[in-house]
Amino acid sequence: MTSNRDRRVVVTGLGATTPLGGTATETWEALLAGRSGARTMDFDWVAKYELPVTFAATIATPPVEVLAKVETRRLDPSSQYALIAAREAWADAGAPEIDPERLGAAIGSGIGGVWTLLDQWDVLKEKGPRRVYPLAVPMLMPNGPAAAVSLDLGARAGAHTTVSACASGAESMGYAIDMIRTGRADIVVAGGTEAAVHPLPIAGFAAMQALSTRNDDPTRASRPYDTGRDGFVLGEGAAVIVLESEEHARARGARIYAELASVGMSADAHHITAPEPNGSGASRAMLYAVERADLSPTDIIHINAHATSTPVGDVAEYNAIKRAFGDHTENMSVTATKSMTGHLLGAAGALEAVITIQSIYHRLVPATINLDDQDPEIPLNVVSGEHQKLPDGDIAALNNSFGFGGHNVALAIRSI
Amino acid sequence: MAQSEQEILEGLAEIVNEETGLDTASVEMDKSFTEDLDIDSLSMMTIVVNAEEKFGVRIPDSEVKNLKTVRDAVTFIAGAQS
């Protein structure tokens, strides 16, 4: 397998709107401070539907505080979050001048416009078809966020949507790398978005017993690797990065955060929701990423893990890491930032890519919170208590994302 | 209850502002919805449906194509109310 790193892809802009903050920087600072974004939901529908889970990691800065009123009216929340993160990333990259036909967009989502879909279903039932909003379909379609970003930035090389549940955001970055490597674009705005803090997904995830029910203590509920973990905490938001061919970034003197060196992907073909217990599928994705980044497994010093805080998933990921890295496993510092952000589903992989890029750039790994009693079945070198400094020199890290359906995506990020 | 043309204009301007973000002051009697205000057909349908609710009238789909200017819409609504 060839790496094709002769056309290197670098990161020149970061953006995020998350449960921890309205920007990538605010989110990073909250991570270093060890803050949780989980909170009790004060929506009237929580009691109305007697939801068994009454908390979530809701967005810190509502879009109405950032976007024009007409944008909040004509875009589903999933597109609103994506637009906010994309504009931040674009500005952070210096709003580069580029031929629109050389600029692409790749924004993934796990669930799509669930708010619009179900609100408009209510309108149809209660008021009839004439009152259904004419923009209902473009608002609810899962490619809506990619289209909104493409329209906003004038990206004409292509606007794409990867859909692979909780791996969607990471997969979009893989798609973006390919767009640049194959010469379709010089810059691609890539990321993931999710706005699914809505009673139906909450009821669905709760019915499958995937969510933590620690209703009396939301900030302590997301606890990856801890023996007391009982499920994930639903989050929402978006994260977007500006990816650029190194040649293009150097020519315009852009600040470069890191190299997004490769993506490794595989499918379990094992079960619709359960991860393969021995981790063989996920380990293949990690090893593909390492190989395609022209690295050896021992070059990886840090992993930002998928680690959602479910009893089964965290063990399966450990098994995959151990299978891929063997004795080197103990040398890698691992962190589970979902302990603070919650699980942003289709935005999770993108947000954790942003965090891993920040970790490489600042040479700091945020600590996992709520790790009081590490599960003996998961003997990883977990960063907890205090954030960890990464060494100087050339370093490399992985970011894992896995999705219902057996989707495995690993991104390799190298310092530059 | 019949409203004056000025009251209808103000109400219509609020609907247009809500849907498109255009300043209410820009919604003047002689402005064309498509050429001056740049309102597309999807937005026009939303404005029509919201106007029906706000002014208590029915604007048939077949009539919408005749509402080229703001004055056309105000006149139709005033006529439908009386």
pLDDT band at A6 (very low <50, low <70, confident <90, very high): confident
**Catalytic residue list contains A306:** yes
Q: B-chain residues within 8 Å CB-CB of A69?
A: 18, 21
Separation CA A408–CA B14 (nearest Å): 49
pLDDT at A400 over 70: yes
Residue-wise pLDDT tens digits, A160-209: 999 999 999 999 999 999 999 999 999 999 999 999 999 999 999 999 99
CATH of domain A263-414: 3.40.47.10
pLDDT at B79 over 90: yes
Domain boundaries, chain A: 9-251, 263-414
Considering only residues 3 to 62 of chain B, which have any Cβ-Cβ distance to chain A shorter than 8 Å? 18-21, 42-43, 45-46, 49
**Burial category of A299 from C-beta neighbours within 10 Å (exposed 0-12, middle 13-18, buried 19 and up):** middle
How much is the mean pLDDT over chain A? 97
Q: B-chain residues within 8 Å CB-CB of A130?
A: 49
CB A139 within 8 A of CB A79: yes
CATH of domain A9-251: 3.40.47.10
What is the distance of C-alpha A19 from the center of its chain? 13
Q: Is B18 within 8 Å of A73 when comparing Cβ atoms?
A: yes
Separation CA A276–CA A58 (nearest Å): 30
End-to-end Cα spacing for chain A: 23
- How close B53 gets to chain A, by Cα (Å)? 10
Q: Does A131 touch chain B (CB under 8 A)?
A: yes
Q: A-chain residues within 8 Å CB-CB of B49?
A: 130-131
Calculate mean pLDDT across residues A295-319.
Answer: 97
Which residues fall within 8 angstroms of residue A131, CB to CB, at 6 or more apart? A123, A124, B49
pLDDT at A277: 87
Domain A9-251 identical in fold to domain A263-414: yes
What domain range includes position B19? 5-81
**Which residue among A68, A69, A133 sits closest to B46, beta carbon to beta carbon?**
A133
The DSSP secondary structure of A234-258, one letter per residue, reads BB-EEEEEEEEEHHHHHHTT----E
CATH number of residue B53's parent domain? 1.10.1200.10
**Catalytic residue list contains A387:** no
Q: Is A70 within 8 Å of B45 when comparing Cβ atoms?
A: no
Separation CA A81–CA A72 (nearest Å): 10
**Catalytic residue list contains A271:** no
pLDDT at A2: 45
Q: Does A135 touch chain B (CB under 8 A)?
A: yes
